């Protein structure tokens, strides 16, 4: 017990305290002068090292890896970084790169002083992060409200299907918002720098995953929705999903880990851990051992009792059969590197996932359990979120992705039965406002496709979204909508009816007093005009409508 407590304290120390530190003193000018660091010049005090470790975890590890071996971003081990030299490294961190790296300094996220420290930090060896095995996982498990003590029917008259779970990223909270009244019904604590939520198949439960690997489950039937169980499955994580196959609805959940690289199968109702599985393995192509193959996106198959786990660095898609969760079956499909985010086609048979190091989309057939295509998107760093599906008047059913490193939207044919000549080909390439796109969204009831550009190098595009007409995509952007005059406009989500689009304004926690920590802007999807603002939210990012998330509508 004492060991567990110590490990937990270590981990809390490992993650804590970062956001505020990074947000401070944002606007100093960095000096970009020529210098080649000698060994003595890259020495950091223990305090500086610790500060950098936290900043690195918050801002860099997601793309470059905890061990800095590289993934979406390049290898940052000392052999490589020293060769680049202090001046170049400082430029990268401050100004970003054309390949999609944000200009952390220029954007005001990392100060000039901290940029200098980071430049030194990444020329030192990375610290070895701790492990997190089943003993730690079990010790972190808290069943706050056992299933038998939960409501037997909703304790309110709200439409649960039209509720939204909104990630309040830098506050580490989830807001539950009534989609009809736009009222914030409840705000509950979740994991550190919480990342996404997914819904149980019944739509009753919201599962959240924090960057600290903490998974929580919120019961939407409660008068005031609240957390009923929580667990920490790893120390760094991004994904969670539930069992959706017929007969297994709400039975299990799975949490993917970035560090340690592993996944944990949980009981769906209580989050009691059942099985932990390491993803340590070999790259699919060169078959070299990789020490950090992280679990990126996870989706639940509708064709078998399986999850589709995308193992980023090794470029493998693992189909995990949860019929017998203590002895899960794993089929490894060779795909491409580095697997990141993705979504289903409209039939939910094909899963399209970005392999962002190779600018490709891999297509997995969940029915035949195999890779059916690797598509060159024609852009740098595809980043679909879950993508968007619609019927193109010329090419039939299509799915689309934008790009982080390019101002282009690639539209891909997805119907091998009735439109075989277009299936798994880029049938349209359309301009976006700018590079720096993260998410694209539509709804079967809408005539529009929406695209954000929160990582644009141009401030005006970070707060503007583009709308396209599905019937006339060839015409390019139909309308630009300025959403806010601060923060970043990020991630669109429809309401259940598909007639409203919700967009987050992701501000700074430190600007809460100015009313600029964030809000959600609701647009009328028919008229493309603003309908409402849900104010006073602390750094909202992803939003997940219950009905659309359960049914994979995007
Ligand atoms: Fe995400 C999805 C990982 C940065 C907001 N993000 C995902 C998924 C992965 C991932 C693997 C897919 C989950 C799934 O479907 O199961 N994200 C990462 C990173 O590694 C990365 C690049 C860097 C990091 O350090 O985390 C990263 N992500 C961000 C952000 O900066 C965003 C904009 C805000 C934040 O939380 O920091 C962000 N990511 C999101 C959102 C989704 C997401 C809103 C879900 C989109 C959806 O509609 O499903």
- Could you give all domains of the chain from N- to C-terminal order, each with its CATH number? 2-121 (1.10.760.10), 279-397 (2.130.10.10)
Atom of ligand 1 nearest to the CA of 491: 44
Q: With H, G, I as helix, E, B as strand and everything else as coil, classify residue 372.
A: strand
How far apart CA 507 and CA 502 sit, in angstroms, is: 16
Q: With H, G, I as helix, E, B as strand and everything else as coil, classify residue 308.
A: strand
Contact between 199 and 549 under an 8 Å Cβ cutoff? The reply is yes
Contact between 380 and 405 under an 8 Å Cβ cutoff? The reply is yes
How far apart CA 115 and CA 51 sit, in angstroms, is: 11
Edge to edge, the sheet with strand 236-242 lists: 236-242, 252-259, 262-267, 273-278
Atom of ligand 1 nearest to the CA of 258: 20
Give backbone dihedrals phi and psi of 196, rounded to 5 degrees, phi first: -140, 170
Does ligand 1 have an atom closer than 6 angstroms to the CB of 339? no
Q: Specify which residues 317 forms β-bridges with.
A: 310, 333
Closest by CA position to 15, among listed 189, 169, 236, 208 = 236
What local confidence, expressed as pLDDT, does residue 40 receive? 76
Residues shown for the chain:
554
Concatenate the DSSP letters of all residues of 439-499 into one string. -EE--TT-SEEEE--TT-SSHHHHTEEEEEEGGGGGG-EEEEEE--SSSEEEEEEE-TTS-
Tokens of 398: 């299509």
Contact between 329 and 320 under an 8 Å Cβ cutoff? The reply is yes
**pTM of this prediction exceeds 0.85:** yes
Q: Which residues contact 453 (CB under 8 A, 6 or more apart)?
A: 432, 433, 434, 435, 436, 437, 438, 461, 462, 464, 465, 466
Residue with tokens 């760093």, as numbered in its chain: 381
What local confidence, expressed as pLDDT, does residue 26 receive? 32
Atom of ligand 1 nearest to the CA of 490: 33
Does ligand 1 have an atom closer than 6 angstroms to the CB of 298? yes
Residues of the chain with pLDDT under 50: 1-10, 12-34
Tokens of 234: 């790893």
What local confidence, expressed as pLDDT, does residue 128 receive? 87
Tokens of 21: 């530190």
What local confidence, expressed as pLDDT, does residue 254 receive? 98
Q: Are strands 289-290 and 295-300 parallel, antiparallel or unpaired?
A: unpaired
Give backbone dihedrals phi and psi of 424, rounded to 5 degrees, phi first: 60, 30
Concatenate the DSSP letters of all residues of 101-113 into one string. ---TTTTTSS-HH
What local confidence, expressed as pLDDT, does residue 28 receive? 36
How far apart CA 484 and CA 489 sit, in angstroms, is: 7
Q: Specify which residues 281 forms β-bridges with.
A: 290
Tokens of 426: 């880029």
What local confidence, expressed as pLDDT, does residue 99 receive? 76
- The overall longest dimension of the chain from CA atoms, in Å, is 67
Residue to probe by mutation, ligand 1, list 72, 195, 352, 502, most atoms within 8 Å of CB = 195
How far apart CA 490 and CA 503 sit, in angstroms, is: 6
The region, left, alpha or beta by phi > 0 then psi within -120 to 50, assigned to residue 396 is left
How far apart CA 209 and CA 180 sit, in angstroms, is: 26
What local confidence, expressed as pLDDT, does residue 350 receive? 98
Contact between 435 and 457 under an 8 Å Cβ cutoff? The reply is yes
Residue 194 CA to ligand 1 centre (angstroms): 10
What local confidence, expressed as pLDDT, does residue 183 receive? 98
> What residue owns the CA closest to ligand 1's atom 36?
195
Tokens of 345: 């086609």
What local confidence, expressed as pLDDT, does residue 37 receive? 67
């Amino acid at each position: 017990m004492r060991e567990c407590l110590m490990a937990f304290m270590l981990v809390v120390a490992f993650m804590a305290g970062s956001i505020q530190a990074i947000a401070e003193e944002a606007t100093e000018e960095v000096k970009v002068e020529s210098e080649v660091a000698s060994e003595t010049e890259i020495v950091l005090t223990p305090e500086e090292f610790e500060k950098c470790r936290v900043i690195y975890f918050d801002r860099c590890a997601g793309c470059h890896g905890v061990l800095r071996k590289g993934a979406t971003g390049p290898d940052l081990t000392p052999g490589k970084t020293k060769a680049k030299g202090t001046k170049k490294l400082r430029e990268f961190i401050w100004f970003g790169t054309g390949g999609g790296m944000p200009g952390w300094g220029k954007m005001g996220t990392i100060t000039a002083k901290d940029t200098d420290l980071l430049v030194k930090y990444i020329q030192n060896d990375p610290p070895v992060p701790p492990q997190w095995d089943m003993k730690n996982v079990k010790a972190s498990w808290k069943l706050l409200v056992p299933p038998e003590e939960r409501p037997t029917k909703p304790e309110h008259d709200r439409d649960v299907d039209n509720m939204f779970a909104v990630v309040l990223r830098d506050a580490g909270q989830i807001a539950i918002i009534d989609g009809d009244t736009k009222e914030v019904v409840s705000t509950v604590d979740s994991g550190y720098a919480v990342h996404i939520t997914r819904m149980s198949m019944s739509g009753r439960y919201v599962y959240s995953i924090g960057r600290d690997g903490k998974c929580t489950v919120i019961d939407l039937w409660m008068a005031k929705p609240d957390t009923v169980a929580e667990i920490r499955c790893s120390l760094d994580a991004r994904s969670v999903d539930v069992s959706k196959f017929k007969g297994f609805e709400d039975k299990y959940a799975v949490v993917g880990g970035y560090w340690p690289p592993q996944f944990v199968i949980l009981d769906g109702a209580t989050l009691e851990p059942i099985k932990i599985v390491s993803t340590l393995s070999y790259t699919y192509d060169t078959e070299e051992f990789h020490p950090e193959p992280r679990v990126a996106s996870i989706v639940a198959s509708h064709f078998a009792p399986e999850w589709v786990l995308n193992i980023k660095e090794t470029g493998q898609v693992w189909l995990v059969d949860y019929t017998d969760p203590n002895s899960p079956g794993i089929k490894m499909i060779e795909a491409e590197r580095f697997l990141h985010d993705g979504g289903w086609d409209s039939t939910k048979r094909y899963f399209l996932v970005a392999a962002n190091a190779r600018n490709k989309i891999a297509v997995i057939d969940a029915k035949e359990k195999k890779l059916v295509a690797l598509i060159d998107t024609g852009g740098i760093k595809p980043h679909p979120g879950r993508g968007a599906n619609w019927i193109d008047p010329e090419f039939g059913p299509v799915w689309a992705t934008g790009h982080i490193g390019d101002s282009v939207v690639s539209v891909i044919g997805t119907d091998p039965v009735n439109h075989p000549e277009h299936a798994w080909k880029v049938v349209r390439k359309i301009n976006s406002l700018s590079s720096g796109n993260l998410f694209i969204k539509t709804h079967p009831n809408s005539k529009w496709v929406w695209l954000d550009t929160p990582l644009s190098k141009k401030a005006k595009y970070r707060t503007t979204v583009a709308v396209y007409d599905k019937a006339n995509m060839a015409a390019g952007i139909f309308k630009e909508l300025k959403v806010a005059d601060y923060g970043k406009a990020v991630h669109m989500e429809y309401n259940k009816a598909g007639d409203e689009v919700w967009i987050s304004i992701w501000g700074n926690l430190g600007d809460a007093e100015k009313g600029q920590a964030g809000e959600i802007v609701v647009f009328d999807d028919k008229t493309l005009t603003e309908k409402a603002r849900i104010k006073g939210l602390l750094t909202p990012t992803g939003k997940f409508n219950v009905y659309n998330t359960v049914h994979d509508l995007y």
